[in-house]
Amino acid sequence: MEVEKHKRMGVWLLWLLIVPGGILLTFHYDPPHINGHEWDIFAFLVLMCILALIPMIINNTQISAFQGVSLAVFLIYGLAVEMLVTQISFIFMLSMLRLRRSEIYRLPLNSLIFFLVCLVSGLIYYAIGGTHDYSTVVHPSNLWMIFVYLFSYFFLNTFLVTVARYFLMNQKLEPFTKDTIWDMISSLVVLPIGIIFYDLYQQLGYLAILFGGVPLIGIAFVMRLYNSSQGINRRLKKASEIGHQLTQRLQVEEVLHLFVEKISTILPSEQTYIFDVFNKEDKIRLLRYAEQGIEQEKEIQPFAINAGICGFVRITKQGIIYNSKKEWKHLDRGGFLPKTTQSVLAVPIVRNSLVEGILILASGKKRAYEQNQLMIMNILCSYLGVAIENARHVEETKKQSERCALTNLYNYRYFETAIEEEFNKEYSNLSLILLDIDHFKSINDNYGHQAGNEILIELAGRLELLIANKGVLARYGGEEFVILLPNVDKAAAYDFAEFIRESIAIQPFSVYSDLDELRSKVLIPVTASIGVASAPDDAEDAQTLIRHADRAMYTGAKKAGRNKVAEYVG
């Protein structure tokens, strides 16, 4: 969540007013117990910086041995030194994260919090009689003082972090959550580390830093690798689940929507793009766009097939990761990535050895993606390619079963299902228009069946334009067409039918005469007879409505001279 600029400035102001002066006063009133051990302090600082960068992660909770070493530094050298090395190590850790410009405020914020935490918990330790004398510190009867210091450190840190989130990010004041309990447990885990380090240093000197620090770093590193492998396994399992869900979808739109929705549950992505690179235009065009996993509309002009990051991935057929803007900026020919973008992950969507699409994930953080995540995205994009192909096959099969091969209108089978479904809905009116071309047999006899087919195709196109989204248009059979109009009463349906009849009659149809040796182009005037019926006035079920519209057409229009509209009269 973006923190407002005036709040970020307020953090910097508080830091300037409190931290520099506070550290100087601490050194003045509580001089450190250095005694020529500057290099030992420096070694502790290096160890703390390393441990801060590689925290141990157990059950998705960070347990940093850094805090245990910080406790040892406090017990050995006092508050001032512990405060200084803590400040330096945390600033070092945050600087290694390469924060965005809008996140730089986290440096003074963390510095301020840890200054206050160190100061208050240290003062509490001194107030209850705590000292830095070896015989006193390690005596069993005095260990409770270290517990008080550690819990003061924990509770104050939790309180300040909660308050900071409340004022900066408007989050609820919830200091005690499940995460808080895990943080308290992690504090208890690092307590023995601090005491052991302190005791070892008193007996071995600087060698304690070597003998204690190297195993700690090794354990932290091994646990980090273990947690990383566990994370990869979780992502692979999640990817497999998503893959199965994708292949179960039977429409391309559903497949793409599910993919965009689920992708954010596996990888951090501020922007998600899916591009089509396999189309008649030979252009790269945007298919889907999402921000934080939520689909949104975005206008991106189609660009050259080999241009930019998409073009590079299309040519190489390989996924790629860019860790910072300077790595991909020269390829940003499409100009679609936000200026704040740093990391980019791009993966080809391959089907039958052809790149049909490109997935691009963008993040404002540097080094946001890892190679194992690229591998998982490659797997997911393979699932996506297969799912899209399956969905297209299903859609094509369904289209062939529902559409008339000649006119591409819905066929009788689809219409029967559609009218039954409409009768199951609660409509005040449901009207039906049945249209039949007049003297169609004579057209076939005089100009050939191909000319008749051309008239059917052109009439279907005209009707589609006239009806648009007003209702369902289908070829009923032969030269008959049917129009289903939900929420349209009989009078409105009659007027619409009359408009259709006039539109057909006033514009002749241009066809080629197959019975002419020269196959010359001719203009054929065409008229239609139309019947109209409406439910519930004329029928209470689908078949009755069809029968009454058919009767109106034949008795009221055909027998009355054709080129007419007739409504059913019961």
Active-site residue set: 479
Token pair belonging to 48: 């703390």
Dihedral sign for Cα 508, 511, 513, 519, please: positive
Per-residue burial over 436-447, b = 16 or more CB atoms within 10 Å of its CB, e = otherwise: bbbebeebbeeb
Q: Give Cα 393 distance to the centre of its chain.
A: 26
> Would you say 279 and 273 are in contact if contact means Cβ atoms under 8 Å apart?
no
Distance CA 119, CA 27 (A): 12
In sequence order, the 6+-apart residues with CB closer than 8 A to the CB of 568 are 531, 532, 533, 534, 538, 548, 549, 551, 552, 556
For residue 532, which phi and psi values (nearest 5 degrees)? -130, 135
Estimate the crossing angle of helix 5-29 against helix 143-169, to 10 degrees.
Answer: 160
Distance CA 275, CA 486 (A): 37
For residue 533, which phi and psi values (nearest 5 degrees)? -140, 155
Distance CA 334, CA 412 (A): 46
Distance CA 46, CA 27 (A): 21
Distance CA 380, CA 92 (A): 36
- Kindly report the number of other CB atoms within 10 A of residue 371's CB atom: 9
Estimate the crossing angle of helix 371-402 against helix 207-248, to 10 degrees.
Answer: 10
Distance CA 303, CA 284 (A): 5
Rounded-to-10 torsion of CA 398, 404, 410, 416: -90
Helix (H, G, I), strand (E, B) or coil at 343: strand
Three-state secondary structure readout of 141-166: HHHHHHHHHHHHHHHHHHHHHHHHHH
Token pair belonging to 388: 């899209």
CA atoms within a 13 Å half-sphere pointing along the CA-CB vector of 324: 5
Q: Let me know the angle formed at the C-alpha of 86 by 83 and 87, rounded to the nearest 5 degrees.
A: 85
Distance CA 153, CA 116 (A): 9
Distance CA 29, CA 82 (A): 15
